[in-house]
Amino acid sequence: MGQAAYSAAIRRIAAVQHDINRPKSRSDANSRPELITPTAPIAVASHGGRAKCLQRLVRMDLPVPRTVALSFDTVHGIASGQMPDMTALLEPFGPQPLLCVRPSSEDPDWGGPGAVLNVGMNDALFVDLCDRIGQDAATAIYIRFVQGYSINVARLDPDMFDGLILEGREGLHQVLSAYEEETEEAFPQDPAVQLAGVLRSMSRAWEGTTARLLRQAKGAPADAGLGLIVQEMAYGLGKGECGSGVIQLVSSSTGRPKITGRYLSQSQGRDALRKDGGSIYLARDPRGPSLEDLAPEAFAELIDYTRQMRIRLREEMQTEFTIENGQVHVLDGVRIRRTPRAAVRIAVALANDGVIPPAEAILRVEPRAVTEMLHRQVDPEARTEVITRGIAASPGAAAGKIVFSSAAAQTAASRDESCILIRRETTPEDIRGMHASVAVLTERGGITSHAAVIARGIGLPCVVGASDLRVNLKRKTVTMADGRVLKEGDEITVDGTNGSVILGSAPLHEAALDEAFQQLMAWADQFRDIGVRANADTPADAEIARRFDAQGIGLCRTEHMFFDPGRLTVMREMIFAAQADDRKAALEQLLPMQRADFVELFRIMQGKPVCIRLLDPPLHEFLPTDRDGIRSLAEALDRPLSDVTRRIEEMAEHNPMLGLRGVRLGITMPEIYDMQARAIFEAVIEASRDGAQVVPEIMIPLVSAKREVELVKTRVEAMAALVRSASGQSFDFRLGVMVETPRAALRAGEIAPHTAFLSFGTNDLTQMTYGLSRDDAGRFMKTYVQQGVYPEDPFHILDSDGVGELLQIGANRGREARKDLVLSICGEHGGNPESIAFCRQAGFDYVSCSPYRVPVARLAAAQLAVKEAIRP
């Protein structure tokens, strides 16, 4: 998009936003009931969204029944006993009104009291209606109104109608008598009295504590106002085609064009209902009668009105309507409900049609919702039987045959069969089985359990903690809460997005990486002004990162490359080496493996930057902890068991996360980093030979002192020189520092001159700033958050006050010392919209997050840029 087009787009959005966000000025809001006309002073901030929408429909000249809007002030007054002038209020509706009253809150999602229909129904109108719409219909209306009024306005006990017939003249007589008996007065006949009672009860319902708490939970401010609209009823009853319904032009689940909604035809009676007793079809359908058949002109009008609404209201709308003797009345227009994938498609279609600018399309999609689209989903419209629910541990859905062991999963995979691994809980031995399965389900465990963490890492749908299942591994069965038993080979569907488990193979929507998604992301990239990279440790991660258009790898944790069984033994040999020479010999064996890893990563990333972190974890993490493991290690190393046990004990640390790890390994056992640097440089030469020129980034973890950087830098540079001269090839690289200790942030000024970039590892930085163990905080975090000690879990949401201050200090001091210093974040926080806002504000160059969060980060970053352009 050119700069001029961009600026124009931003100006248009700013104008719309200005209108929407106009400050509430209750004082200038008209506190008289206001007939909705094209010019009446009605605003969202004073009369609510529904009133404003109806005014827009009136301006469009749609056939909206006569409507009066009551402002927030008026409704607030009614709740405290100040009734408006009822004669004036009723005046526009003539001498014999029949009305409905609906809520109109500022944001429709905040809810409100239910609508009350048929206000004004009394004996005189009943006689009149019998003539106009027939006695049965008139009686039904009257009975329903008396019932509703008794319960909602007169606050009578709903049981009072138990045992009454509630049909026909006799039924009407009975409900009116029941009312009279309970209240000792006749049912009010004056429409003004009825309407006053309805307005009072709806106003008070809004001011009640429960309603207030409910809407506050949905984001409403404590003093959110309620408007009410009083609208002439369009009965949808008469001698010609009559009925009522809703219609929309796109599917709420996919966002694709599809006429959906419902229509209840009154005049066609039961014959016109579908076999399942539901409403008849809207558009022509071979399966049964439709509105299009019954009233083609009315149907065409409705389509036209809904299209017009889309353009004028700049939103995909649902039209609520009635048809009276073939004539259409539009009662309301409502923004259609939508799944995340539908939200994307709708926003993109609106922008493609020129209804909204692309910048606004970007703002209309909730970034976190995008995560759902990156995985397969159960078709929300499918009929499914949910057999249990657990914790939604890793998003996406998959269907397959049940297996109960890793071995069975691998066998199934070798036959190309989709299988779902069910375990009580998983352990490291299950990883191969998990890789062979399409989804995982466990009886036990929480969001950070082994199954959950691994499944998220490999993008496998996973539900954990399905505690009402009973898994019997011996019998290979799982018993459901209702006693039914599933056995190996039975099919289920695991929905890791919402935590449900479905019997059988549910219909799935593919991941929605379709043109609409791609288009939205392309627009996002045009607006975004902070880079987004991925944390990727393996070729599979890197493939995903590239698929989601990450601008490079921001963190490759090399330790993950050594856990492969073939390498683990060599790694352990290296760890057990007593002398530097022995260590070197073991490292010689690891070198080609490590080089091959990097070549693959560089090839996949096609010249995009790849930031490789030198070895970080304490070495004992590579050693076995159980007896069997130690014995087999002794065998593999050909050493006595006692030697191996002693060495493992020697390496144990009281506080390993603060012990011999990160750069401390690099200083005390420099051969390890030498090998890694050599593998990186040799891989650069190999990958650049037949592909794009690679400039690797090498990152030193857990730095706390400038001298650490100097020492490592000297050796890495020496290794580069060695490889250059041995190969006769030239290459560049960038060396950087991971800021994970508070000291590194504070001393960034003296570290920066030795480094091309600083990458903030906010997982460790949070751990060290709070003095809070990453691995143990889960035990008390819930209590801490519940009691308000921490507003959120700081490992999930960046603590912008404390850890954030360190980030800011590190960034400022680093940049002061070195203007071209590249700044980034690579902790788990990197993909959170809140952290991205912080990093952008602090002048960071990019964020790096797990591959599946890359699209979320791209969209969130674009939204920040667009919002800033609107309100600089």
Q: In the block, which residue shows the tokens 């970053």?
A: 861
Q: Which is nearer to ligand PEP, 457 or 761 (CB)?
A: 761
Shortest separation between residue 712's beta carbon and ligand PEP, angstroms? 17
Shortest separation between residue 536's beta carbon and ligand PEP, angstroms? 12
Residues 707-746 that bind ligand PEP (CB under 6 A): 740
Q: Angle at the Cα of 263 (from 262 to 268), degrees rounded to 5? A: 150
* Count of all residues that appear for the chain in the document: 872
- Residue 826: contacted member of Mg ion, ligand PEP, none (CB under 5 to 8 Å, by partner type): ligand PEP
CA atoms within 13 A on the CB side of 322: 16
Shortest separation between residue 702's beta carbon and ligand PEP, angstroms? 8
Angstrom distances, CA of residue 568 to CA of 574, 622, 633: 10, 7, 10
Give the sign of the dihedral formed by CA 468, CA 473, CA 474, CA 480. positive
Residue 872: is it exposed, middle or buried by C-beta count within 10 angstroms (0-12/13-18/19+)? exposed
Cα 303 to Cα 247: distance, rounded to the nearest angstrom:
8
Q: Contact, 363 vs 863, CB < 8 A? A: yes
Q: Which is nearer to ligand PEP, 233 or 610 (CB)?
A: 610
Q: Contact, 341 vs 379, CB < 8 A? A: no
Residue 534 forms beta bridges with which residues?
553, 849
Shortest separation between residue 764's beta carbon and ligand PEP, angstroms? 3
Which H or E run includes 458? helix 450-458
- Residue 832: contacted member of Mg ion, ligand PEP, none (CB under 5 to 8 Å, by partner type): none
Closest by Cα among 506, 317, 484 to 420: 506
Closest by Cα among 671, 822, 659 to 736: 822
Q: Contacting Mg ion (CB under 5 A), which of 761, 810, 830, 851?
A: 761
Residues 280-309 that bind Mg ion (CB under 5 A): none
- β-pairing, 477-479 vs 485-487, is antiparallel
Shortest separation between residue 767's beta carbon and Mg ion, angstroms? 8
Q: Which residue, judged by CB position, is nearest to ligand PEP in the bound state? A: 761
Q: Quick one: tokens of 184?
A: 């000792």
Is 435 among the residues known to form the active site? no
Q: Which is nearer to ligand PEP, 101 or 452 (CB)?
A: 452
Q: In the block, which residue shows the tokens 């690099």?
A: 666
Q: Which is nearer to Mg ion, 295 or 768 (CB)?
A: 768
Which one from 76, 450, 754, 829 is the annotated catalytic residue? Answer: 450
Q: Quick one: tokens of 341?
A: 């994938």
Q: Contact, 365 vs 520, CB < 8 A? A: yes
Q: In the block, which residue shows the tokens 């606004």?
A: 360
Shortest separation between residue 742's beta carbon and ligand PEP, angstroms? 13
- Residue 762: contacted member of ligand PEP, Mg ion, none (CB under 5 to 8 Å, by partner type): ligand PEP
Residue 222: is it exposed, middle or buried by C-beta count within 10 angstroms (0-12/13-18/19+)? exposed
Q: Which stretch binds Mg ion (CB under 5 A): 400-408, 447-455, 734-742, 856-864?
A: 734-742
Shortest separation between residue 700's beta carbon and Mg ion, angstroms? 12
Shortest separation between residue 740's beta carbon and ligand PEP, angstroms? 5
Q: Contact, 533 vs 554, CB < 8 A? A: yes
Q: Which is nearer to ligand PEP, 315 or 764 (CB)?
A: 764
Q: What is the DSSP letter of 759?
A: E
- Residue 794: contacted member of ligand PEP, Mg ion, none (CB under 5 to 8 Å, by partner type): none
Q: Which residue, judged by CB position, is nearest to Mg ion in the bound state? A: 764
Q: Which is nearer to ligand PEP, 366 or 621 (CB)?
A: 621
Cα 154 to Cα 193: distance, rounded to the nearest angstrom:
12
**Number of chain residues interacting with ligand PEP (CB under 6 A):** 10
Residues 234-253 that bind Mg ion (CB under 5 A): none
- β-pairing, 697-700 vs 734-739, is parallel
Q: In the block, which residue shows the tokens 């002038």?
A: 85
Binding mask 744-773 for ligand PEP (x = CB under 6 A): -----------------xxxx---------
CA 712 to chain CA mean position, Å: 42
Q: Contacting ligand PEP (CB under 6 A), which of 555, 684, 836, 860?
A: 555
- Residue 106: contacted member of Mg ion, ligand PEP, none (CB under 5 to 8 Å, by partner type): none
Tell whether residue 764 is a contact of Mg ion (CB under 5 A).
yes
Cα 361 to Cα 342: distance, rounded to the nearest angstrom:
13
Q: Which is nearer to ligand PEP, 456 or 557 (CB)?
A: 557
- Coil, strand or helix at 312: helix
Q: Which is nearer to ligand PEP, 674 or 740 (CB)?
A: 740
Closest by Cα among 294, 245, 239 to 271: 294
Residues 247-276 that bind ligand PEP (CB under 6 A): none
Tell whether residue 557 is a contact of ligand PEP (CB under 6 A).
yes
Which one from 53, 242, 556, 826 is the annotated catalytic residue? Answer: 826
Shortest separation between residue 557's beta carbon and ligand PEP, angstroms? 5
Q: Which stretch binds Mg ion (CB under 5 A): 308-316, 356-364, 524-532, 757-765?
A: 757-765
Residue 510: is it exposed, middle or buried by C-beta count within 10 angstroms (0-12/13-18/19+)? exposed
Shortest separation between residue 698's beta carbon and ligand PEP, angstroms? 15
Q: Quick one: tokens of 626?
A: 């159980």
Binding mask 737-756 for Mg ion (x = CB under 5 A): ---x----------------
Q: Which stretch binds Mg ion (CB under 5 A): 184-192, 604-612, 620-628, 759-767?
A: 759-767
Is 826 among the residues known to form the active site? yes
- Residue 647: contacted member of ligand PEP, Mg ion, none (CB under 5 to 8 Å, by partner type): none
Which H or E run includes 808? helix 802-817
Cα 380 to Cα 389: distance, rounded to the nearest angstrom:
16
Q: Which stretch binds Mg ion (CB under 5 A): 115-123, 621-629, 763-771, 812-820?
A: 763-771
H helices present in 82-152, as ranges: 86-90, 123-133, 135-148
Tell whether residue 261 is a contact of Mg ion (CB under 5 A).
no
- Residue 561: contacted member of Mg ion, ligand PEP, none (CB under 5 to 8 Å, by partner type): none
Shortest separation between residue 555's beta carbon and Mg ion, angstroms? 9
Residues 817-856 that bind ligand PEP (CB under 6 A): 826-827
Q: Which is nearer to Mg ion, 346 or 712 (CB)?
A: 712
Q: Contact, 206 vs 224, CB < 8 A? A: no
Which residues are at the interface with ligand PEP (CB under 6 A)? 555, 557, 616, 740, 761-764, 826-827
Which residues are at the interface with Mg ion (CB under 5 A)? 740, 761, 764
Catalytic residues: 450, 826
